[in-house]
């Protein structure tokens, strides 16, 4: 209420100056500005008090929200680190499985190829031995028959022809046997490789499914933990926001009451200020008109004098 008294004092001074008939426009304007400034000073303390209360509540809410955000960030960092460690472990397991499978595959294929090659070599060697033995037997038999043919070529011509045919058939059979052995070896090799590839693919699929299931379970556990943490934090945030809103509403109600009171006080003085301003304006208008008339009279006088001087000069010349 002290600023209000100051305003009344300022008004009294200005009213006295007007009553004495010695009103100065500059003094009147200065007085009006002082009155407005004093009214502003009377309004600011109440608003500042309300703003201080609201600012304190907002600072507390901001600190609580900052702490909650820090907690969320810490949980998020921890969960991200766990996920990265799990992914690195899965990659290591997959790399180890791949390396083991590659090494096992190469060793098994090499071993099987080596076994098949050895078997094929043995079979080829046996066939070559059989062919050589057959040839030797045929040659011996041919020599025997040639000796007999030397005695009786005509009687043994049919036997020689049969022997040659038999020899060709034996050679053909040996060649066919050799070709069948090679085909069988190639077929066995393809079968073994196909079976191994199928078993390897099955093992890889099983390992992938197991790794995917482990990853899925780990991610599900992490998501559940993260969801619970977020729910708890959301509940805390909601509580903090509710408290902040309540404090803000209380502060706003107090501010509205103070503003309404100050506005009612200022409204009572607006008429006084308006009357004073109108009076000052009337006085200023009068001063301006007087100054205008004086300046005009002086200008007219100077113009008349100059005109007379010019006429006199003209007459003299």
- The residues spanned by each domain of the chain are 2-309
Element (H, E) at 257: helix 153-316
Q: Which pLDDT value is given to residue 236?
A: 79
The pLDDT value given to residue 6: 37
pLDDT digits (tens, 9 = 90+) for 185-223: 777 777 777 776 677 677 667 767 776 787 778 677 777
The residue count for the chain: 317
Among 18-22, 103-107, 168-172, 301-305, the minimum mean pLDDT is found in 18-22
Identify the pLDDT of residue 5: 37
Mean pLDDT, residues 148-153: 60
Task: Say how far apart CA 191 and CA 212 lie, in whole Å.
Answer: 31
What does the alpha-carbon distance between residue 196 and residue 106 come to, in Å, rounded to a whole number? 11
Residue given tokens 């007219």 in the structure block: 300
Classify residue 122 as exposed, middle or buried by CB count within 10 Å of its CB (0-12, 13-18, 19+). Answer: exposed
Cα dihedral 60/61/63/68 (nearest 10): 150
What is the band of 9 on the pLDDT scale with cuts at 50, 70, 90? Answer: very low
Cβ distance 242 to 48 under 8 Å?
A: no
Task: Please report, to the nearest 10 degrees, the dihedral formed by the alpha carbons of residues 248, 254, 259, 261 taken in order.
Answer: 170
| 276 CB neighbour count, 10 Å cutoff | 18
| CA-based nearest residue to 251, from 51, 44, 46 | 51
Beta carbons of 83 and 251 less than 8 angstroms apart: no
Structure tokens at 35: 């009155």
Reported confidence tier of residue 286, pLDDT bands at 50, 70, 90: confident
Rounded mean pLDDT of 80-102? Answer: 64
Q: Give me the pLDDT at residue 224, please.
A: 81
Distance CA 103, CA 225 (A): 40
Q: What is the dihedral of CA 167, 169, 175, 176, to 10 degrees?
A: -160
pLDDT digits (tens, 9 = 90+) for 29-56: 455 455 445 544 544 454 455 455 555 6
3-state secondary structure of 58: helix
- 233 in Cβ contact with 68 (< 8 Å): yes
236-262 exposure pattern, b = at least 16 Cβ within 10 A, e = fewer: eeeebeeebeebeeebeeebeebeeeb
CA nearest to 16, candidates 34, 31, 26? 31
């Amino acid at each position: 209420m002290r600023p209000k008294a100051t305003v009344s004092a300022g008004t009294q001074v200005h009213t006295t100056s007007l009553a004495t008939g010695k009103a100065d426009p500059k003094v009147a304007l200065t007085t009006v500005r002082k009155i407005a400034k004093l009214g502003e000073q009377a309004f600011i303390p109440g608003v500042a008090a309300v703003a201080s209360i609201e600012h304190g509540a907002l600072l507390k809410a901001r600190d609580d929200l900052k702490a909650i955000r820090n907690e969320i960030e810490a949980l998020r960092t921890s969960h991200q680190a766990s996920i990265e460690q799990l992914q690195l472990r899965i990659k290591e397991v997959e790399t180890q499985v791949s390396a083991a499978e590659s090494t096992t595959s190469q060793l098994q294929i090499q071993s099987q190829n080596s076994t098949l090659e050895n078997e094929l070599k043995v079979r080829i060697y046996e066939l070559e031995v059989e062919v050589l033995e057959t040839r030797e037997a045929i040659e011996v038999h041919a020599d025997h028959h040639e000796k007999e043919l030397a005695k009786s070529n005509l009687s043994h011509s049919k036997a020689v022809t049969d022997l040659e045919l038999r020899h060709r058939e034996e050679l053909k059979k040996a060649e066919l046997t050799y070709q069948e052995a090679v085909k069988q070896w190639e077929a066995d090799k393809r079968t073994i490789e196909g079976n191994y590839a199928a078993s390897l693919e099955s093992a890889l699929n099983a390992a992938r499914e197991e790794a995917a299931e482990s990853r899925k379970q780990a991610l599900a556990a992490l998501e559940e933990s993260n969801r619970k943490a977020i729910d708890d934090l959301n509940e805390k945030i909601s509580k903090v926001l509710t408290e902040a809103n309540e404090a803000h509403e209380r502060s706003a109600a107090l501010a509205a009451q103070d503003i309404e009171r100050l506005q009612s006080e200022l409204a009572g003085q607006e008429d006084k200020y308006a009357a004073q301003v109108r009076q000052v304006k009337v006085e200023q208008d009068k001063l301006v008109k007087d100054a205008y008339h004086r300046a005009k009279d002086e200008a007219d006088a100077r113009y008349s004098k100059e005109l007379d001087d010019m006429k006199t000069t003209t007459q003299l010349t």
